[in-house]
Amino acid sequence: MTDRAPWHRRHWFALDVALALCFVAIDTLDTLGGGSWWPGHPSGLAWAVLAVQGLVDASLAFRRVWPVAEVAVLGAFTLALTLLISPAGALTPAHAGNVWAPYGTVLAAYGPFFFRRDRRDRRTALLLLAALTVVVCRPWEGDLTVVAVGLLRTAVGPLVALYVDARHRLVLALTERAERAEREQHLLARQARAEERARLAGEMHDIVTHRVSLMVLQAGALQVTAVDAPTRRAAQELRAAGCQALDELRDLVGILRAEPEGDPTPSVEGIPLLVSESTAVGVPVTLEATGAASLASPVVGRTAYRVVREALTNVRKHAPGARVTVRLEYGETRVRVRVRNTRPAGPGTAALAATGSGLGLAQLRQRIELVHGTLHTGATPDGGFEVDAVLPAYVPTADTGR
Alpha carbon distance 134, 127 (integer Å) = 11
Alpha helix locations (H) across 111-260? 112-115, 119-137, 144-225, 229-257
* Final residue before a domain boundary, out of 142, 162, 194: 142
21 within some domain: yes
At residue 115, the pLDDT reads 61
Long-range contacts from 170-173, C-beta under 8 angstroms, 24+ separation: none
Domain shared by 235 and 331, yes or no: no
Give 336-397 as a 3 state SS string: EEEEEECCCCCCCCHHHHCCCCCCHHHHHHHHHHHCCCEEEEEECCCCCEEEEEEEECCCCC
Domain shared by 194 and 70, yes or no: no
Domain shared by 232 and 303, yes or no: no
Domain shared by 226 and 331, yes or no: no
Q: Which residues are paired to 337 by β-bridges?
A: 328, 389
Domain shared by 279 and 395, yes or no: yes
233 within some domain: yes
Whole-prediction pTM: 0.40
Give φ, ψ of 377 to 5 degrees.
-130, 150
93 within some domain: yes
* Final residue before a domain boundary, out of 257, 283, 306: 257
CA–CA distances in Å: residue 207 to residues 215, 216, 242, 243: 13, 15, 14, 16
161 within some domain: no
Angle, CA of 205, 206 and 210, to the nearest 5°: 110
**Residue 323's CATH number:** 3.30.565.10
At residue 165, the pLDDT reads 77
150 within some domain: no
Q: Comparing C-alpha atoms, which of 339, 354, 346, 340 is closest to residue 321?
A: 346
CA–CA distances in Å: residue 235 to residues 213, 216, 228, 248: 14, 9, 11, 20
Domain shared by 77 and 116, yes or no: yes
Domain shared by 206 and 287, yes or no: no
148 within some domain: no
Alpha carbon distance 111, 128 (integer Å) = 13
At residue 366, the pLDDT reads 85
**Conformation bin of residue 378: beta by default, left when phi > 0, alpha when psi is -120 to 50:** left
Domain shared by 64 and 102, yes or no: yes
Domain shared by 207 and 281, yes or no: no
169 within some domain: no
At residue 321, the pLDDT reads 85
Alpha carbon distance 329, 325 (integer Å) = 13
- Cβ pair 219, 246 in contact under 8 A: no
Domain count of the fold of the chain: 3
Domain shared by 92 and 203, yes or no: no
Amino acid identity for residue 174 in this structure: L
* Final residue before a domain boundary, out of 257, 291, 312: 257
Alpha carbon distance 72, 70 (integer Å) = 5
The whole domain housing 93 covers: 7-142
At residue 238, the pLDDT reads 82
75 within some domain: yes
Cα 276 to its chain centre, rounded Å, is 30
Domain shared by 209 and 134, yes or no: no
Domain shared by 248 and 284, yes or no: no
Per-residue pLDDT of the chain (402 residues; tens, 9 = 90+): 344 556 656 777 888 888 889 989 998 998 888 888 888 888 899 899 999 999 998 988 888 888 888 888 888 888 898 888 888 888 888 887 888 888 888 888 877 776 655 666 667 777 878 888 888 888 888 788 888 888 888 888 778 877 887 888 888 888 888 888 888 888 888 888 777 777 777 676 667 776 777 777 788 888 888 888 888 888 888 888 778 777 766 666 665 555 555 556 788 899 999 899 888 878 899 999 999 998 888 889 999 999 999 999 888 888 888 999 999 999 989 999 999 999 988 765 554 555 455 667 888 888 888 888 999 999 999 889 999 999 998 876 544 444
